[in-house]
Structure 1
């Protein structure tokens, strides 16, 4: 964490033996209710309540009253319950940089809940970051460059290839359902002769929180850019694919390239300013997905964190 902020999530410890009933009672006791309490705190971390996979659903029903499917999600996950998913299945030795969930989409979840089913052997914290601070930490030159927004490009295969298939991405095998979704999202798309799907979407680089009005950094340019893959991975992909053929990529809104040094600045300043939330089995964290970005630190041993989302 940098000296730029002393913010940390609000941690709520069990007092009466824990369990789902006590956790929900503590939620009910928040000043102004859950919605106001979450906006005020940005993140709520519940510890010592001993939530299990069997008692998780009634807790999520209260915290996330309208659980969302991960439709148009770009990261690899496994669905393990009623709109409950594994957190991003990315090799454990790598860091996942800061991001607001689905900030590349036309609509995104407003809340995320993370539940630790299996404690990491070592490391594996979930860093969280004030997205308003993130914007402030970026150089004025970079912020001006992104003022027009960004253009995301996806190449989604038809069942075999790099990245995700369009069927997995949209959780359907019906082209008509995909087209209906993309039309509503204001995206452009093209079905290719091999059955793959190309999608282009123009999105802003920042947004404002609907309650506080705070302007926040709100895009995934650094994660969609080849420079964000690391030199070795980017070089391997460049040897077999042009940038236009990558599973996902990003440019400025007018199609001009985003400099690699901008990508590094966005990624590094976000990670440096983040606050790590360490996990114990049974812990649960609820975050405001606009006010806070999140990521993942590398870990050893086993780690199983589940995630659910709500509008």
Structure 2
């Protein structure tokens, strides 16, 4: 484009002005064409002879057309920012036009200070979750370029998380858990490494953990991370180092939509009564208890074998502590079932009822079987049915590995659980992992889980308060 003469550039821009006007009136009503808009801006900015943009019409492109939604207001704001940058660039170029060629080259070297744009889109336009950012060229794929883009676009990321709830960076050179940590610490510097959840995890860097060490055949029902705490993490981050051979998706769902879809009579009960959780953990000297899946021991979760320290940490988290048996621990606490976002003030379904309920795993698995249709998933479904039945007749509910009720102790019925799971599956977003993927989730707005898989799968997780 550097070789375009002024006349050709003026003609081309004149055509694009009309295209933009047409798009602004006809196509920006849908999100599908937003990528076209941003690509057009990138193309325009690449024109070295941009000083020929003198037509005032381009500075007054139907602003009203961009006021139909919050998204379009942001598009207009981005467009206006581009125009101002173009105008400034034109003045700089006109002043330096008569200078020596070597000096002109030095001006070009200063251009990397201008933040580059990434391609923005969706995996499924019918369900815009997550928002996907990808590099437009090989030069943009580097980890440092991604970090620089994040630093320059904090407001855009916040807006995306507010509107959609999840952002996926795909196609960048993020090749290790440490690279992952280097990237996400620029999204939120308040990363944490204290994990009071139930899933077995291994810490691999200061803040990155393996997502879970549960067997590949076992499902992890969708949930907001540590929603059984009074103060759950605000953001959750996932990184794919190695994608599985088949399946193994991390399903995500907008919890605000779940809240709207849960029947009113169930929502009102949860809102009024809250949720009561009971979790049972083996101790450091008790490793013989048979389990279909292995959960953490309490010394692994609290990072200490000192019972007094365990009780001290539990008190801060409002956990009631009960020691029983040889070396076992039971934690009981009651929390909100519906939460208001600490920053955006939106309401969302935010509890572990669809995870800790005794029937949650077996009911979830038949939905997964209907999608995967494999012999293994059928056999695992049968196994879960048998194990759930055995648990019900051999173990008191309060001493199940995990259990939940309404806050007043009333059991959450099977039909109620089904309606809750329906709300999740009706709004589910599934996509296959690709190596190098970095997924950012607003933990107060979007849930996550794990579907069974085959082959090696290396997914890492981190979180921030």
Question: TM-score normalised to the size of structure 1?
Answer: 0.92
Is 1:50 the counterpart of 2:204? The answer is: no
- State the shift of 1:59 in Å: 1.2
- State the shift of 1:34 in Å: 4.2
CA contact (8 A) 2:354 2:360 kept: yes
CA contact (8 A) 1:151 1:200 kept: yes
Match of residue 217 from structure 2 = 93
Match of 1:171 among 303, 308, 319: 303
Is 1:229 the counterpart of 2:358? The answer is: no
CA contact (8 A) 2:201 2:213 kept: yes
Match of residue 151 from structure 1 = 276
Match of residue 250 from structure 1 = 404
Is 1:19 the counterpart of 2:142? The answer is: yes
Match of residue 274 from structure 1 = 428
Q: Distance in 2 between matches of 1:153 and 1:189?
A: 10
CA contact (8 A) 1:9 1:45 kept: yes
Q: Distance in 2 between matches of 1:174 and 1:18?
A: 47
Q: Secondary structure at the match of 2:300?
A: helix
Aligned residues: 308
Q: Secondary structure at the match of 1:198?
A: strand
Q: Which has the higher strand share?
A: 1
- 1:274-306 deviations in Å (ceiling 9; x for gaps): 111321111111111001111122222221110
CA contact (8 A) 1:70 1:83 kept: no
Runs of at least 5 residues in structure 1 that lack an aligned partner in the other structure: none
Alignment of 1:185-200 (within 5 A): 185-192=317-324, 194-200=326-332
CA contact (8 A) 1:46 1:283 kept: yes
Match of residue 7 from structure 1 = 128
Is 1:307 the counterpart of 2:449? The answer is: no
Q: Kindly report the root-mean-square deviation, in angstroms, between the aligned alpha carbons of the 2 structures.
A: 2.0
CA contact (8 A) 2:224 2:350 kept: yes
Q: Which has the higher helix share?
A: 2
Change (3 A) 1:219 1:204: same
Q: Secondary structure at the match of 2:441?
A: strand
Change (3 A) 1:157 1:222: same
Change (3 A) 1:96 1:271: farther
Change (3 A) 1:57 1:144: closer
Alignment of 1:78-157 (within 5 A): 78-147=202-271, 148-157=273-282
Of 227-236 and 217-226, the range deviating more from structure 2: 227-236
The structure whose RCO (Cα within 8 Å, separation 6+) is larger is: 1
- State the shift of 1:207 in Å: 0.2
Larger Rg: 2
Q: Distance in 1 between matches of 2:238 and 2:387?
A: 29
Of 142-151 and 5-14, the range deviating more from structure 2: 5-14
Q: Distance in 2 between matches of 1:171 and 1:263?
A: 33
Q: Distance in 2 between matches of 1:68 and 1:233?
A: 35
Change (3 A) 1:176 1:91: same
- State the shift of 1:153 in Å: 0.7
Question: TM-score normalised to the size of structure 2?
Answer: 0.63
- State the shift of 1:49 in Å: 0.5
- State the shift of 1:27 in Å: 1.2
Q: Secondary structure at the match of 1:48?
A: coil
